[in-house]
Amino acid sequence: MTSYDVILRGGTLVNQDGVGAADVGVIDGKIARIGDLATADAGETVDCRGLHILPGVIDSQVHFREPGPTHKEDLETGSRAAVLGGVAAVFEMPNTNPLTTTPEALADKVSRANARMHCDFAFWVGGTQDNAKHAAELERLPGAAGIKVFMGSSTGSLLIADDEGVGEVLKHIRRRAAFHSEDEARLNARKGERIPGDPASHPVWRDELTALTSTKRLIALAERHRARVHVLHVTTAEEIEFLAAYKHLASVEVTPHHLTLTADDYARLGTLIQMNPPVRAPRHRDALWDGLRQGVVDVLGSDHAPHTLEEKAKPYPDSPSGMTGVQTLVPTLLNHVNAGRLTLQRFVDLTSAGPARLFQIAGKGRIARGYDADFTIVDLNRAQTIRNEWIASRCGWTPYDGKPVKGWPVGTFVRGAKVMWEGEILTPSTGRAVRFLEAL
């Protein structure tokens, strides 16, 4: 009889083939058996009765600030927040200091993360005018999630503002590249203006048309160069409608905060919810939900971008854009599941199967024999209130402080290790670089 290292017993599996009761056996960090394992032996048996076992959640957009302004966050604290929130792997962004735009900078991040991050990881490499011709080599380096291009204004020298520069990146990539899509010229022209309906106390100056203008440019360039693109944090009704016609080229990410908050919340939360791109009017949030239900939206990313409360308290526009999100992704979306806005299977598609499919992740994203034993174990019936005190990010706050939710992450397994259970970190940091089929 096979002896397993770990058996998850009595839970309800949510997977690509449906929802049903099953045990899961793990050997050497891999899923070894799915089914009735009531009589099997194991080094550890985890009682999952009353719980749902999901494939490990993958958050494909976080900013953990290291190297750079680590008074806000670092790879250890950010990944601690991730696993406490039920996230088993993250893709971290390149706008650190120094920027992640060279093989040496990427290797430095991987070295910092190995066996120090609590979850598995990959790092986006920033696409620039200078490194565009090397994009095909950069995107295949160990630990690289792919190439990320900033077409907006908030990222300094990472910005590629002209079509020629963006086209140069698209000409050389072979994997799917991610884009922050806002039009630089219009952003500069509109700075200081208010979006109609926004509270006068908080002028959100990013015009709604800038995102659509830039996204249209991006799609035209992707068609010309026959490249696959991933449009990050889509926020407008017009973008959703436009991108629905280009699913053969473009995948779409939305964030929990753009699905949950609206411009009406600025009066209460002010610059705490100042983001790039911004939290918008209710009609845009409603359109994002419609896009999610219609299958236009492919993945969820938290866009976790922490700043200290002192920094966020500065008057606009001196206040920085960004908020925490990696730890609250799972509970806020489970709350939406319980409210009937999406199914649990759709949540799994958006947070594990979807990222694995889009980015060709090796051995993750499904509960299947031979795959990494990454699990997000949740209690759909647990009512909790999100509090700042629960937030493990170094900045120590969330815009959802005081928000009651139904549905909570109980456990996080990473390659068979019980990293988090019932709000406690149980296993020393063992994070490894995520592998990608197009880079093996």
The three-class DSSP label of residue 153 is coil
Separation in Å, CA 331 to CA 64, 165, 383, 388: 20, 39, 10, 14
Q: Are 348 and 56 in contact (CB under 8 A)?
A: no
CA distance 421 to 379: 12
* Nearest CA among 438, 435, 436, 375 for reference residue 409: 375
CA distance 328 to 85: 6
Length of the chain: 440
Q: Are 195 and 141 in contact (CB under 8 A)?
A: no
Q: Are 288 and 238 in contact (CB under 8 A)?
A: no
CA distance 15 to 300: 17
Separation in Å, CA 185 to CA 14, 191, 214, 334: 45, 10, 10, 39
End-to-end CA distance of the chain: 34
The dihedral over CA atoms of 236, 240, 246, 247, expressed in degrees to the nearest 10, equals: 120
Angle at 335 between CA 287 and CA 9, to 5 degrees: 130
CA distance 208 to 277: 9
Q: Is 303 a catalytic residue?
A: yes
Q: Are 361 and 56 in contact (CB under 8 A)?
A: no
* Nearest CA among 271, 425, 282, 260 for reference residue 328: 260
| DSSP run (H or E) holding 124 | strand 120-126
Contacts of 181 (CB under 8 A, 6+ apart): 151, 152, 211, 214, 215, 218, 231, 232
Count of beta carbons in the 10 Å neighbourhood of residue 47: 10
Catalytic site residue from 120, 303, 372, 374: 303
DSSP structure class, residue 28: T
* Nearest CA among 156, 259, 148, 163 for reference residue 216: 163
Which residues belong to the active site?
303
